[in-house]
Amino acid sequence: MTQFSEPIFAELNKLYSERIVLLDGATGTELQSYKLEEEDFRGEEFKDWPCDVKGNNDLLCLTKPDLIKKVHKDYMYAGADLIETNTFNSTTISMADYQMESLVTRLNVEAARIAREAADEIEAETGVKRYVCGAVGPTNRTCSISPSVEKPEFRNITYDQLVEAYVQQIHGLLDGGADILLIETIFDTLNAKAALFAANTTLEKRGKRVPIMISGTITDASGRTLSGQTVDAFYTSMRHGEIFSIGLNCALGTEAMRPHIARLAEIGEEWVSAYPNAGLPNAMGEYDQTPEEMAGELLDFMDSQLINMVGGCCGSRPAHIAAIKKATEGKKPRAKGERNNTMVLSGLERLVVNKDTGFLNIGERCNIAGSLKFKRLIKNNDYDAAMAIAREQVESGATIIDFNLDDGLIDGEQAITKLINLCVSDPDISKVPFMVDSSNFAVIEAGLKCVQGKCIVNSLSLKGGEEAFIEQARLVKKYGAAVVVMAFDEDGQAADEADKIRICKRAYDLITGPKVRFPPEDVIFDPNVLTIATGLEEHNNYAVDFMNATKWIKENLPHAKVSGGLSNLSFSFRGVEAIRQPMHSIFLYYAIRDCGFDMAIVNAGTMPVYTDIDEEIIRLCEAAIFNKQDIGDGRTATEALTELADTLRSKKGTVEKVTEEWRTKPVAERLSHALVKGIVEFITDDVELCRLDKETYPKCLHIIEGPLMSGMSIVGDLFGSGKMFLPQVIKSARVMKKAVGHLIPFMEEEKLASGSAGASTSQGKVVLATVKGDVHDIGKNIVGVVLGCNNYEIIDLGVMTPMPKIMQAIEEHKPEIVGLSGLITPSLDEMVTVAKEFKRRKIDIPLLIGGATTSKMHTAVKLSPQYANTIHVLDASKSVVVCGSLIGHTKEEFLEDTVDMYEEMRDEYWAGIKDRKYLKIEQARDKKLVIDFKASPPVCKPKFLGSKIYEYDLEQVVPFIDWNPFFQVWQIRGKYPNRGYPKLFNCPEVGEEAKKLFDDATKLLDKICKDKSLKLKGIVSFFPVNSDGDDIKVYKDDTREEVVETFLGLRQQVQKDTTEPYYALGDFIAPPGTPDYLGQLVCACFGCQDLVDTFKADNDDYGIIMAEALADRLAEGYAEVLHRDIRRDYWGYETAPEQSADDLIKQAYKGIRPAPGYPSQPDHNEKSKMWALAPVKDDTGIELTESLAMLPAASVSAIVFGHPDSVYFGVGKIQKDQVADYAKRRNVTTEQCEHDLGFTALAYDPEGN
């Protein structure tokens, strides 16, 4: 515990070391002796209270203060040094039973004031100082246990609700004069962790410390708390909280409590307390143990020097305390425990990490990146099967379970909450400590709020700078967890030994230093296990660097631990487990034996024992691990392992020979090489050489069909097998187009000379179109390029393509396949329109569907019934496979299988919708978010009302680009632990290509900034508003007399397992009578089309897609910067320090900026109101299409809310009662509303299917 400077700590430490200190007895038991009736509890003030209040002892502080004061004095006359306030139930949670939540602050202040007065009076009378303990009870809810056997993941209270309630109580107790905080009768450790979090947060805020005492409750003979922890595990979970003492009370009599107090006395570093019941209750619920009997049993505690403080709980009265006081005379207190620098973790049981523990296996299979099966189960909501994986890992010897649910399609906070709540309900899993693993700190916090044990956070780093690192480390400490610190700083990931040591030393000094004071034994460094045997010389020493850094950490950073993810080490041999697993085992053998390596995330069940590994594999792996590349037979260790890997694959792999002499090869081979490598520099010259060789290539078409298509065939095969990545394919397409572009004029001459139009030799024709109203085509363009690389003839109809134009193209070009793309929700309806027209015209051509808002489920439910031959295509990499299946003899079978699959999916979808539970809209409104706008008023008035235009320089926005969506466009995805920018660059599989892509992007970006070819323009507006139920009324001016527009809101209706409110956007705005304001922003990146046209003229698909992707990123970055400036300057409600780009991207700010048409308000029609309220089109040139897409395509719009309680949320699916109500407010038919909201928002089928 930290040595605090407040005098009370020195006073109490002296007192506890000199004698056994006396706590009072049971206030409730003493009050019962007065036989109080209902009217006594009510008093005059509460005589008309709407419910019975008898039994609410805490209320007596208001209605019978003199009686409460007398009880306190009686206990002090009996010898008590410490008295507890009468506030065991004085939280909003417990007081809800009496409808008295509003009285909580007053109850705590008055209770502490009464106790303070009594203590001061007795001290004046006797000359002996007395202390007031603010009693903090456990509440009547449990955060670790579900009240429903059928729903083990459900909780009727959350950690955050507990913290909020405890903060309010603790402020009241301290305001009333409490000297000490006593968190007592703990039956659920997670409740107590919330109380500790609240206590330490409150004390930090107030700037004055008081001692915090902890007292748990063992509920039965098993020696565990109600939530299942052993005494050891319970203490481990409490140890972090700056506690003054640890002990037990209630539930058990003295004799049954004795072995558990003895254990706390043995392991506790703090003072130890015990205040048992006066025996066990009899059949009538009363306590029969006499004062003398209770004192006699407690003598053993004193004689064995187990305790420093003693008192009484249920059944004890002043006479019992007097008898105990007498028994303490002449007895020596327990000597205070000493600080122990051993790492101790806990689940339901304790895990001591020391030299006797051995190496710790951290189970990796509950990590989405580490197990495809686990990922599939989570995405399919099959949490029972996911739990089985966790259970299997414990059974296989995992001493800690790693939970990581990071995935772009999974709500990480919700998913980890559900999974951990389920796992803590299974004692076979929760007996071991958990590792909460995420790159998103909000997800880490969500996990920590579910775990009663002491777990590990994975991970923190200096990537975001010292300030963020310190802030997060403080929070982790306050939550009571150990922490993994990655060797990663502002400059990137540490690769060599020197950087690993430098970063770890810096992080250690910060986290254990005065700004955090994190226990050094709870700091685990991950110095980055990186991939060896890659063929790159600079990678060869990575294993040695890691082991040397590990050894240095263990020798120079006292008590710190070292961990790592072993799978990185052998990434070069992915797919060859016969090498990978032995390599891991060999690495561990030496890292543990020679360097003190403590733990690693591994699949313990698959790794062989070192002595069982083949000697030749040991020889080669050791040579690679220790960078002894010369193995004596003319080969390097890497070459030998690669050859062995090829043998073990049981099939020959082709190893491409890269040579700098490729230009010396025959021209046909040079063309093929240039296509595969994406080298455009020599393509025109080489194609011209072929054209002039009339003997080999009599016609230009022969060049295309020969070496060019041969090269593109290799590209297609490599891409299909995952050995090439999308950016490489796009570069290959650029080379191909350049080559064909050079030949076209000559081919036209040949056709004229021969009088023949020529025959097509393509795989087939594909018509592609972005549907009417939608302007986004980057995904469609990528598909077109990829299919073109695979010898399909592409007819691209562009964007905003009306249905008649698609039909015309079908008649004109006679394609084998048609593909439709769309990004915004209204595009889904337009696709339905096209599908219906296909059916009406009896067109028999496969219709492919793709785009961000599309899905296989939407295709199955909404499109396939309209036109059976409709197929959803996930991304460009799947388009080749699908098109190949639709060309030739496999077509009919493929279509039949797809129709059957979609029919099955439809049945599952409607069954799932039917089973899902919803609240009626009125019920949801009754459970809406209610903000107390008096206690938490709206933020300040904006600096102006109306609209202003802003044009920012590109250089202002570039630092705020979120690069992750950029790499998603190019379908570059790293694998754990190298997911996301910039860790992606370290991924052994895609890192090199990602870096090349990034370099190309930044090169083009630099050019764009230099020549100003793109421009940023935006409009910011502010309006006076007030809420009207779910909606927001917009006023003409601050007189608030004329309503000029109404933003309509939709409210969540899907039934929740928690007490979380059912949100609508109107909840975040104050009602009439309280002035409030709303902002909006619309911004765009202009000039992209001109840039695209330039690349198009040069047949440069790579440049086209790069330009479009960068324009999108600049527009999003511009919106982020505009929103920042709104908060800080134009509205001016945020005064926090300057935030980093990462903070903004992670939405670590006050307020929100949801966009119409997206989760918080899925109706795109609301967008038109933004254009009506502000001169968006006239002043900026940003337009809305008929389907409410924005032009230019790289545009962003948002409505800006400032209140700190506003949060991002998704409306989810809604029922017909809300749709009908919404239609009335929109003044349209219900059918129109159903059409506009569509599949993604409706919880029912409007057509009754």
CB 15 within 8 A of CB 81: yes
What angle, 0 to 180 degrees and rounded to 10, lies between the N-to-C axes of helices 778-789 and 726-754? Answer: 60
CA distance 725 to 746: 33
Residues linked to residue 1201 through DSSP beta bridges, in sequence order: 1152
614 is known as an active-site residue = no
DSSP designation for 284: T
CA distance 827 to 809: 19
Round to the nearest angstrom and report the end-to-end CA distance of the chain. Answer: 65
* H or E element at residue 113: helix 104-126
74: nearest Cα among 131, 6, 27, 140: 27
Q: Is 1078 helix (H, G, I), strand (E, B) or coil?
A: strand
Catalytic residue among 776, 858, 872, 1203: 776
Q: Residue holding tokens 């509950």?
A: 366
Residues 6 or more apart whose Cβ sits within 8 Å of residue 722: none
CB 538 within 8 A of CB 531: no
- The number of CA neighbours under 13 Å toward the Cβ of 830 is 28
CA distance 1163 to 1153: 16
CA distance 536 to 532: 9
1011: nearest Cα among 1081, 945, 1087: 1087
CA distance 909 to 1243: 10
ω into 977 cis (within 30 of 0): yes
- Cβ burial of 1185 (10 Å; 0-12, 13-18, 19+) is middle
Q: Residue holding tokens 């039934």?
A: 1055
774 is known as an active-site residue = yes
CA distance 1146 to 440: 8
State the alpha helices, DSSP H only, in 678-775. Answer: 683-692, 700-703, 709-720, 726-754
The total number of residues written for the chain in this structure: 1249
| Residue at 567: amino acid letter | S
Residues 6 or more apart whose Cβ sits within 8 Å of residue 750: 699, 700, 701
* H or E element at residue 76: helix 65-77
1164 is known as an active-site residue = no
Catalytic residue among 94, 827, 864, 877: 827
Q: Rounded to 5 degrees, what are φ and ψ at 1179?
A: -95, -20
**CA distances for 1067 relative to 52, 922, 1026, 1040, angstroms:** 33, 15, 10, 19
CA distance 1222 to 1218: 6
Q: Is 213 helix (H, G, I), strand (E, B) or coil?
A: strand
**CA distances for 558 relative to 340, 521, 593, angstroms:** 13, 8, 19
For 968-972, the CB contacts below 8 A with 24+ separation are: 968/408, 969/778, 969/779, 969/782, 969/1105, 969/1109, 969/1112, 970/725, 970/726, 970/727, 970/730, 970/997, 970/1105, 970/1109, 971/725, 971/726, 971/782, 971/875, 971/876, 971/877, 972/725, 972/726, 972/727, 972/997
CB 1121 within 8 A of CB 960: yes
Q: Which two tokens stand for residue 745?
A: 């004029």
- Give catalytic residue positions: 774, 776, 827
